[in-house]
Amino acid sequence: MKIASYVLGFLALGTLVMGNFLGFIIFGVIAFLLFRQANSAPKKQKPHKKTDKPGIITVNQKPPKDYTEQVVAGVSVAGITRPEREDSVKGFIEGSARKVRLEPEPDNAYDPNAIRVMGIWKEGGEEKEGMLGYIPKEIAADIEQDDIVGCVNTVYRGTEDYNPGVKIDIYTTSAITDI
């Protein structure tokens, strides 16, 4: 109803300003275009930063002050699309105050160098936690796991073009092995 009032207002304004039928037509076309734009499909989600694409949130979380050596940047968390992690991943991506905790798993049956990535986030004012996945095994094998910390780099909501995902940076206070 509000839009219809604007359309009629534009038509009346066109007739008044131009004083003829041509003004009525010109302002009618303008009103139609505005009306069509207002009723078009919902807008895509705005990027977090001007350089981000829709669905991508660049976080660039800073490491704690004692963790000065960056081991690796922009590591994609492996196994994030596994069905049993769906709720945790969705909560992490949609939540706020995101952070990650890295947990070495020396008793992992598949990889003794495995590093689990736990997501921590706030949802409705409540802190939540869940497993997101693992550091890829080829990277985990080269990291000295005694004193590492993960920082959220980028979060991908996922679209029809790509899966949801999380990239993290890994920092340490100690020396690293060959990466």
| Beta-strand pair 56-58/148-156 | antiparallel
Res 170: pLDDT: 94
In the chain, where are the structural domains located?
2-38, 56-172
| CATH of 56-172 among 3.30.70.2330, 3.40.50.300, 3.50.50.60, 1.20.960.40 | 3.30.70.2330
Q: Which of 89, 47, 69 is nearest to 151 (CA)?
A: 69
The answer to whether the beta carbons of residues 170 and 75 sit under 8 Å apart is yes
Q: Both tokens of residue 141?
A: 């094998």
Q: What is the pLDDT along the chain (179 residues), one digit of tens a residue?
A: 555 555 556 556 656 666 666 666 776 667 666 566 555 544 444 444 445 567 778 888 888 888 888 999 999 999 998 999 999 999 999 999 999 999 999 999 999 999 999 999 999 999 999 999 999 999 999 888 788 999 999 999 888 777 899 999 999 886 544 45
